[in-house]
Structure 1
Amino acid sequence: MAGNLSGVKARIQAEFPKAVYVHCVSHKLNLVIVEACKIPAVRNAMGVITKVADFFKNSLKRQAFLEKKICEQGQDQAPKRTKLLGLCKTRWIQRHDALENFDQLFTTLIVVFEDIKDSSTGWNRETVTDATTLLHCISQFEFVMAFTTMIKVMSTLNGLSVKLQSFSRDISKVYKDVDRTCQGLQHFRDNVSEHSDRWFKYAPEKVREAVGESDYEPCLPRRCGRQRNRANVSAETAEEYFRRTTAIRFLDHFLGQMKERFSDTQKKSVLGLSLVPLAMRTDPFWKRHVEELGAFYQTDLPSPATFDEELVC
């Protein structure tokens, strides 16, 4: 259907170049997140979170042990959910709920993994090995920084996701919601130093909590002349390094995908809904929108010269 070479979209646009192919907007938002999460730091963090969720999902004994540790925290500190949410493979926008869930259970997960690792009886070798490996992974500063960046940036998409799935939401208003979301992401990008500084201060606290070292401070990863498997940018400090490799790259991918998936051409095609009688009665700017639409499709109009007069009639 959407193939660029021989799909239906390509064949129609070969005859009518200004024909606009429009995906389901909720699906397009999903595609935005899929592409943005392909940067190495975010991709690796997603993989670790999936492994942790599967660790408890695949064993009732492990899940019961996790729930026991949650109960030991007391009602004031205990999170609302006692089960880790998996990262949905198809609806990526739902991953924000899983990230928040993981954040709430982070301290408990550290305690659980340490107890399993140090236990001499009650757990088989595979469980102890997996717990030790996962404890090491979630204790790494690179993971915590990527995880913090994801949850902060993706929180801006929650409201948009809800509106896109609303039965009563008008498509023309949806694109206005998309513009507001892009403005929020652009604000993050324009002030990335300020935001990443705040995230950078939050992430070491998580790592100190995980490794049990109050004097822990993040350091620059080892770099070399050529590196293919991870980021290798030049930086004077650890803060600058992780800002460039995680925060800036993630925001740039997000903004680029939002502008590509929700292009101005698609927005212009939606302006035709301003000719709906209800829109003409309720929207004071309907005529301006139709004039923009007419200017875009001017070469396809049978009588472009009389277009303005027809609007008056």
Structure 2
Amino acid sequence: MMATIQEIALGKLQDELEQNQNVKDKLDGKTKNQTLCETRWFSRASALSTFKAAFPVIVSSLEYLQSKGDGKSGVQLSAILRFDFILPLVIVNHILEAIVPLTSMLQGVSCDLVEAVNECQTLIRVFENERNDIAVFNCLYDEAVELAEHFEIVPSKPRTTGRQRNRANPAVVGIQDYWRVTLYIQFLDHLLNELRDRLVNLVERFLAQMLLPNNLKSLNRDHQIRIFRDYESDLQSEDQFLLEIKRWVARWDIYPSKKPDQLCATLEMTPKELYPNIFCILQILLTIPSTILLNLSTSAKKRI
């Protein structure tokens, strides 16, 4: 059976990857492009990194497909061989790579949400510093220009007029400043707002993680009151909640060998009729991480 054009092109792609030592070094052992995942930023960052590293080889393979009569390849080439594609690729790849450790932590089997908030605040500080340091953007811009020059693509920006309704039209001089204001700063500001809204502003709610049996030794009166205040609308009275906490602590002192070490397992081992308040809190807490990541990823995808 004769090989299809796509199969031939895939073979050519693999051959070129083997022959292009520079690209191989950048790929760091990865040998194929990855599909984007709707809800995992780790996958999105990895896919962008692979695509960017293999960009010259991908272009060559698409050109080969086009020469064999594949019409879609020509459309794809036209879409990626543009400065307004290459610069966002470089910028977004740089920004998402910094988020990988945090997303990996949040999507792990065991997730310390309080520590995740601490890391989120660290990321916010890093992004704020980079936003205010023009040298960071200049380096990213130079990298994009260098990649574009390889394909004889001249840096450009959309035409601007005195009055513009359908796209950004800032009062800037020059192509580089245009992209810094309309792309780089806009994306960073959006991401900073999302990180604060989705994680940092929920720090009080994450204190409920102290109710996990392995964390009870660190649970003090202040924690208990703060947890109750944040979940108050879903709970019974404060006195009932605090009494429940006393029994909850005593329960795991009696059965230390049976302590679950994960949130889901703790919920499964919590009798709802005996500990209705704690059960309710754990149930709410269990829904937070995946909801945050889904909303955060979907929102960022619209910007990308």
Q: Contact 1:275–1:286 (CA<8 Å) still a contact in 2? A: no
Q: Distance in 2 between matches of 1:298 and 1:229?
A: 45
Residue 298 of structure 1 deviates from its aligned partner by 8.8
Structure 2 equivalent of residue 268 of structure 1: 204
Q: Contact 1:86–1:98 (CA<8 Å) still a contact in 2? A: yes
**CA distances 1:272-298 after superposition (whole Å, capped 9, x unpaired):** 4436664353x4x84554454467679
Question: Which residue type is aligned with residue 203 of structure 2?
Answer: K
Please state if 1:106 is matched with 2:28: no
Structure 2 equivalent of residue 233 of structure 1: 170
Structure 1 equivalent of residue 11 of structure 2: 64
Residue 147 of structure 1 deviates from its aligned partner by 0.7
Q: Distance in 1 between matches of 2:190 and 2:184?
A: 10
Question: Which residue type is aligned with residue 90 of structure 2?
Answer: T
Question: Which residue type is aligned with residue 37 of structure 2?
Answer: C
Please state if 1:259 is matched with 2:196: yes
Q: Distance in 2 between matches of 1:276 and 1:110?
A: 52
Moved more, 98-107 or 271-280: 271-280
Q: Distance in 2 between matches of 1:75 and 1:185?
A: 29
Q: Contact 1:110–1:135 (CA<8 Å) still a contact in 2? A: yes
Please state if 1:157 is matched with 2:99: yes
Sort the Cα spacing of 1:302 and 1:257 in 2 relative to 1 into closer, same or farther, 3 A. Answer: closer
Residue 153 of structure 1 deviates from its aligned partner by 0.7
Which of residues 144, 150, 165 is equivalent to 1:209?
150
Q: Distance in 1 between matches of 2:159 and 2:178?
A: 11
Q: Distance in 1 between matches of 2:198 and 2:98?
A: 17
Residue 69 of structure 1 deviates from its aligned partner by 2.3
Q: Contact 1:156–1:184 (CA<8 Å) still a contact in 2? A: no
Residue 199 of structure 1 deviates from its aligned partner by 0.6
Residue 76 of structure 1 deviates from its aligned partner by 8.0
Residue 248 of structure 1 deviates from its aligned partner by 0.6
Question: Which residue type is aligned with residue 83 of structure 1?
Answer: K
Q: Contact 1:274–1:286 (CA<8 Å) still a contact in 2? A: no
- SS class of match (1:222): coil
Which of residues 124, 130, 137 is equivalent to 1:196?
137
Which of residues 105, 110, 114 is equivalent to 1:168?
110
Q: Distance in 2 between matches of 1:151 and 1:89?
A: 16
Which of residues 112, 125, 128 is equivalent to 1:186?
128
Q: CA RMSD in A?
A: 3.4
Q: Contact 1:66–1:112 (CA<8 Å) still a contact in 2? A: yes
**CA distances 1:230-259 after superposition (whole Å, capped 9, x unpaired):** 433221011110001111110111111122
Q: Distance in 2 between matches of 1:194 and 1:176?
A: 27
Moved more, 154-163 or 269-278: 269-278
Question: Which residue type is aligned with residue 110 of structure 1?
Answer: V
Q: Contact 1:67–1:82 (CA<8 Å) still a contact in 2? A: yes
Structure 1 equivalent of residue 298 of structure 2: none
Question: Which residue type is aligned with residue 194 of structure 1?
Answer: A
Gaps of 5+ in 1: 1-56
Question: Which residue type is aligned with residue 140 of structure 2?
Answer: W
- SS class of match (2:150): helix
Question: Which residue type is aligned with residue 69 of structure 1?
Answer: E
**CA distances 1:64-95 after superposition (whole Å, capped 9, x unpaired):** 22223223325984643332212223434411
Residue 103 of structure 1 deviates from its aligned partner by 1.1
Gaps of 5+ in 2: 247-304
Structure 2 equivalent of residue 144 of structure 1: 86
Sort the Cα spacing of 1:278 and 1:93 in 2 relative to 1 into closer, same or farther, 3 A. Answer: closer
Q: Distance in 2 between matches of 1:102 and 1:138?
A: 11
Question: Which residue type is aligned with residue 160 of structure 2?
Answer: R
Q: Distance in 1 between matches of 2:173 and 2:43?
A: 37
Q: Contact 2:62–2:73 (CA<8 Å) still a contact in 1? A: yes
Q: Distance in 1 between matches of 2:5 and 2:197?
A: 39
Q: Which has the higher helix share?
A: 2
Q: Distance in 2 between matches of 1:181 and 1:61?
A: 43
Aligned residues: 236
Q: Distance in 2 between matches of 1:91 and 1:298?
A: 32
Q: Distance in 2 between matches of 1:297 and 1:83?
A: 47
Sort the Cα spacing of 1:221 and 1:293 in 2 relative to 1 into closer, same or farther, 3 A. Answer: same
Q: Distance in 2 between matches of 1:164 and 1:236?
A: 41
Q: Which has the higher contact order (CA 8 A, sep 6+)?
A: 1
